[in-house]
Structure 1
Amino acid sequence: MKKFKLIPILTLVFIASVLTMCSKDDKTTAPGITAAQVNTNIVAGNWSVTLYNENGTIHTSDFSGYSFVFNTGGALVATNSPTIKEGTWSSGTDSGSVKITIDFTATETTGSFESISDDWMVLTSTATKTELKHVSGDDGSIDLLTFEKI
């Protein structure tokens, strides 16, 4: 009889273990990435958006033709001649994760540039590609943003 009582308990323990392993938010900053390394990578050259996934909806084409330049002084300029969008950027560490903050809200209060104006966790950063993720504090939705060197 004791064996039959033990089986449901073990089953519940197993299910609880599996559920805690699964997570919607399983991407974190890659080990070894520092804010200084991200800064070095991002200020070197022109970048294009190769992925913008806003909570499961792809909006990459909203940035088609734009060239992004992250200047060392914190200015961020997106150009799609003759259109120029001006914003700011900064980087740092928050809760052990390297983050980039993008802000176009001084000039863009709606639309795609406003929607990428947020703090982004750096998933990967190399000389040719930077992958970012934002988890909304409001509803837990996940956005992904990828820049690749032009």
Structure 2
Amino acid sequence: MKTMKSLLLAMLTVVAFTTMSCSEDDNNNNNNNAAANLLAEELRNTAASGTWRVALYEDDGQNETSDYNGYAFTFAADGMLTATNGTNTVTGTWSVSVDSSSSNSSDDDGSDDSDDVDFNIFFASPPDFEELSDDWDIVSRTDTRIELIDISGGDGSIDYLTFVKN
């Protein structure tokens, strides 16, 4: 009888420990996901408030910022992205997304956080603007500056993109 009670107590302890461990992990994931969703919403609101210019675009060590001189970028709330310099207008799309994949995911930014907030830009043409098309990771964000990075999964090259509010 004593052995049976000891066995039952041991099984209940294992079940309780496993339940607490899973629950704690779930809470951490929920907290991380909530923080990522908040960051994503703040980033959407910031980008959609006014016009922006490219302060830096570095493609694998090559500074190509001058390709965007004179362009004002407008990130519309409906996902439309417009860049205009008064003569030429280039249109594309943009979004901010949260990738809540498994905790073993490999984010471009090297973070071990399972929630990856991406600033997505897509231009179909012209070629200079196509280069901005990517799922950028957020380095930092203020009301007047958005700093982004992309680390290529193929060759490990690093691109930097910084928008500054006009």
Amino acid corresponding to residue 50 of structure 2 in structure 1: G
- Counterpart in 2 of 1:48? 53
Larger relative contact order, structure 1 or 2 (CA cutoff 8 Å, min sep 6): 1
The answer (yes or no) to whether the contact 1:56–1:143 under 8 Å persists in 2 is yes
Quick one: distance in 2 between partners of 1:125 and 1:71?
18
Higher normalized strand content (fraction of residues): 1
Which runs of 5 or more structure 2 residues have no equivalent in the other structure?
1-34, 100-113
Match of 1:126? 142
- Cα shift readout 1:107-143 (whole Å, capped 9, x = no counterpart): x0x5210111111001111110000001112211110
* Counterpart residue type for residue 69 of structure 2: S
Give the corresponding residue for 1:98.
Answer: 117
Paired residues, number: 117
* 1:145 pairs with 2:157: no
Instruction: Report runs of 4+ in structure 1 exceeding 6 Å deviation.
Output: none
Distance, in Å, in 1 between the alignment partners of 2:94 and 2:50 is 15
TM-score by length of 2: 0.67
Choose between structure 1 and 2: higher helix proportion.
2
**Structure 1 residue 82: deviation in Å?**
1.1
- Give the unaligned 5+ runs of structure 1: 1-30
RMSD: 1.5
Match of 1:77?
82
Deviation at 1:54, TM superposition (A): 0.5
- Larger deviation: 93-102 or 140-149? 93-102
Say if 1:135 and 1:142, in contact at 8 Å, map to a contact too. Answer: yes
* Equivalence for 1:20: none
Identity of aligned residues (%): 42
Task: Write out aligned runs for 1:102-121 (5 A).
Answer: 102-105=121-124, 108=125, 111-121=127-137
1:101 partner letter: N
Q: 1:101: how far off?
A: 0.6
